[in-house]
Amino acid sequence: MRLVGWALVAAATTVVGTTAWVVVRPRTTTPAVRVERPAPPRTPGPVTPRPKPPTVASEGTPDATTPQPPPELPHEIRLPPGPGGGGEIVLTTCKRDAECSPWERCNGGFCVDGEHNCEKDDDCGAAARCEQSTCLPGVRSCGDGRACPESDQLCMFGACVATAGECLLDVDCGASNERRCVFGRCVEGGRDCLRDADCAAGKRCQFNRCTEGTRQCMVDRDCGGERRCEMGRCATGKRECERDLDCEGEARCEFGRCLGGARHCWKDGDCPGGTRCEVGACLSGDRECVVDAGCPSGARCVLGRCNAGS
């Protein structure tokens, strides 16, 4: 940098406030000349908003902007004992079979007795059907839009079952918990249990009542050999049928076996006075029971009559 009549010794630029100073010092003792010039204008840049700190919810208070998961059910729900002398009913909640005991499956959000070996009928083979995640013997005769052929039959677990036609649900038998619906018939006594674990040792849950005798089976294959599973007990003889049409000629299907003779009745009302309908035939004597729980202690219900010691 050169100035006429001046020798440049040092040059410095200092910004003070908004004024720029350029100082040029000559070799002589002449006072320095101060040249003042305006500073270049400042162009404002984009304004970036200062981020707000994240909202921190206080302990125990969820953030209103964060979606919350649905409330979890307690793992166990305890109900008081039923009127028939059963123990406290304990419902175990679940989302999958793995959350239940090995001998249970998850159905409807609760652990229930039984296996989980199917999702649909095709998983069970040609001679069985899938009901509540368990393969049951016999092809499906109702459900999935198929109705039972008789008006007084109910579709239960994919099979048509003869009923008395009195009820479909417990509430059809009265508002109190003193009667319940079993196969379309109102029977005395409310519900004691939902599964075997609700009953005392040595008893099983049969038609929602605690019945003497532990459960031997859930499906036919639990019995093995030439036996079948009927109402939790192993019966002699393989299953032959699920409905009358599975039997030849005029034989009828009762408890998985083809019995000789055509069916004479479906319910007690089909028989003359003083008789009852059992296994498709009219038998003498009025009905005393439907299940063992309807008999005095130590007696069993056999074909509608209470038999002591049988």
Does 289 map to a domain? yes
Top pLDDT among 58 and 99 is at 99
- Specify the pLDDT at position 44: 52
Does 302 reside within a domain? yes
> Is pLDDT above 50 for 187?
yes
* In the predicted structure, residue 285 carries a pLDDT above the cut 70: yes
* Cα 32 to the center of its chain, rounded Å: 97
The count of C-alpha atoms lying within 13 angstroms of the C-alpha of 299, restricted to the half-sphere facing its C-beta, is 17
Which range marks the domain in which residue 282 is found? 265-310
Question: At residue 108, what is the residue type?
Answer: G
The structure tokens listed for 267 are 């319910």
Both tokens of 63, joined, read 């953030």
The number of domains in the chain is 1
Most confident of 14-28, 161-175, 287-301: 287-301
Please check whether residue 273 lies inside any domain of the structure: yes
Across 253-266, average pLDDT? 72
For residue 254, pLDDT beyond 50: yes
Task: Report the 10 Å Cβ neighbour count for 238.
Answer: 14
Interval 120-140: pLDDT, tens? 777 666 666 676 566 665 666
pLDDT at 181: 76
| 298 located within any domain | yes
Query: Which segment of 137-141, 193-197, 257-261 scores lowest on mean pLDDT?
Result: 137-141
For residue 248, the 8-state DSSP code is: S
Q: Provide long-range contacts, Cβ within 8 A and 24+ apart, for 136-140.
A: 136/219, 137/219, 137/220, 137/228, 137/239, 137/242, 137/256, 138/239, 138/241, 138/242, 138/243, 138/246, 139/242
- Look over the chain and give the mean of its residue pLDDT values, rounded to a whole number: 65
C-alpha dihedral (96, 101, 102, 108), degrees to nearest 10: -40
210 in a domain, yes or no?
no
* Angstrom distance (rounded) from CA 140 to CA 161: 12
HSE-up of residue 143 (Cα within 13 Å, Cβ side): 16
- With 60 as the cut, is the pLDDT of residue 9 above it? no
Q: What is the pTM of this model?
A: 0.31
| Residue 275 domain-assigned (yes or no) | yes
- Range with top average pLDDT, 69-83, 150-164, 253-267: 253-267
Is residue 217 included in any domain, yes or no?
no
- Kindly state whether residue 309 falls inside one of the protein's structural domains: yes
Nearest to 257 by CA among 295, 288, 227, 219: 227
